[in-house]
Structure 1
Amino acid sequence: MQTSLTNTPTRYGWAMIVLHWLIGVIFIGQFALGYVMVRTTSQRTSFELIQLHKSFGFLLLGLIILRIAWRLGNPAPALPASVGTLERRTAPLAHFALYAFQIALPLSGWALVSVSTLEIPTMPFNLFVMPNLPLAESDAAESFWSAAHWYLAYAGIALVVLHIAAALRHHFLLRDKVLARMITPSSGGE
């Protein structure tokens, strides 16, 4: 049986599965990296971790934009018949919130480095200099964007935890195929 790159009415294809798990790992890794980098006592290590955090932030932003574009042209499979009405109505809202946080978080980080008075260039994976957003530099703006980035990070990780809990509930309690269809790709004839 040949698997498909695209979604079918009952399962996700390889493209969406790879993007889902890659974005998920990077998003959770970014939270952990952000937590560690601001608590490291070595300035050199902290600087290197911040540069790595910024690099993965830009990668995450690009991947989520790609995922949304792919999703717009490739509809998600229908939920199994066993999924209740309330969940059918709230699931799209939860997914929209996840997408929104995955875009807002890197953008707030980009805004933060753009308004910083330190003027340290951002070089994603040391490949090129990423231009700053056209925002005025100031300590007040840096404080605002720092707080916004922090709150978005914690709210975003809370959403991810809820998303994981919902997936595990479907798999272990409801025993339906909601999680399985994001693990095993669709086949061309399905």
Structure 2
Amino acid sequence: MQASITNSTSRYGWGAILLHWLIALIFIAQFGLGFVMVRLTSQRTAFQLIQWHKSFGFLLLGLIILRIAWRLGNSAPALPDSVGALERRTAPLAHLALYAFQIALPLSGWALVSVSTLDIPSMPFDLFVMPNLPIGESDAAESFWTAAHWYLAYAGIALVAVHVAAALRHHFQLGDAVLTRMITPSSDRNGE
């Protein structure tokens, strides 16, 4: 039995699984990195961490766009019969909120560096210069986007915590396959 890259009717394929866990890892690591980098006393180390934070932010933005495109081309597996009517209605909304936060957060960071009066270029992984968004530089705009990025980060991590709690509830309390279908890929045989 060979694992499939695409989703089946009951499980996710390798494509969705790898994108899901890679995005999750980067998203959570970005929160930790952002938390640490603004609290360092060494400006040199803080600057280096900020550059890494920006690099992974651009990577995250690209991956989430790819994840959404992948999702649009591969329908999600059906929820198990054990999932109630209310959860069937709220689960798509929760996933939509996760996608929205994962796009809004790096975009707000990009806006923040774009409006900064420091005019420090963003060079993802030292490979190329990422152009700024076409918005005007000002201290007021920088303050706004700093606050927006901060609030989005904390709201996003709270949403991720709820998502993790729901997955663990399905696995340990309800005993259904909601979590395992995002760990074990579908196979080519019979679409399962």
TM-score by length of 1: 1.00
Identity between Structure 1 and Structure 2 (%)? 81
User: 2:54: which partner in 1?
Assistant: 54
Structure 1 distance, partners of 2:22, 2:38, is: 24
Q: How many residue pairs end up in the alignment?
A: 190
Post-superposition CA distance 1:78-107 (Å, at most 9, x none) = 000000000000000000000000000000
Q: How does 1:18-29 map to 2 (within 5 A)?
A: 18-29=18-29
TM-score by length of 2: 0.99
State the secondary structure of the residue aligned to 1:117: coil
Q: Which runs of 4+ in 1 moved over 6 A?
A: none
The question of 1:173 aligning with 2:173 is answered: yes
Unaligned runs of 5+ in 1: none
The question of 1:14 aligning with 2:14 is answered: yes
State the secondary structure of the residue aligned to 1:3: coil
User: 2:34: which partner in 1?
Assistant: 34
Structure 2 distance, partners of 1:127, 1:26, is: 19
Offset of residue 20 of structure 1? 0.2
Amino acid at match of 2:122: T
User: 2:88: which partner in 1?
Assistant: 88
User: 1:141: which partner in 2?
Assistant: 141
State the secondary structure of the residue aligned to 1:58: helix
Unaligned runs of 5+ in 2: none
Offset of residue 178 of structure 1? 0.3
Post-superposition CA distance 1:112-163 (Å, at most 9, x none) = 0000000000000000000000000000000000000000000000000000
State the secondary structure of the residue aligned to 1:8: coil
Structure 2 distance, partners of 1:75, 1:58, is: 26
Q: What is the root-mean-square deviation in Å for CA atoms of aligned residues? A: 0.3
Structure 2 distance, partners of 1:40, 1:171, is: 39
User: 2:107: which partner in 1?
Assistant: 107
Structure 2 distance, partners of 1:159, 1:46, is: 27
User: 1:157: which partner in 2?
Assistant: 157
User: 2:76: which partner in 1?
Assistant: 76
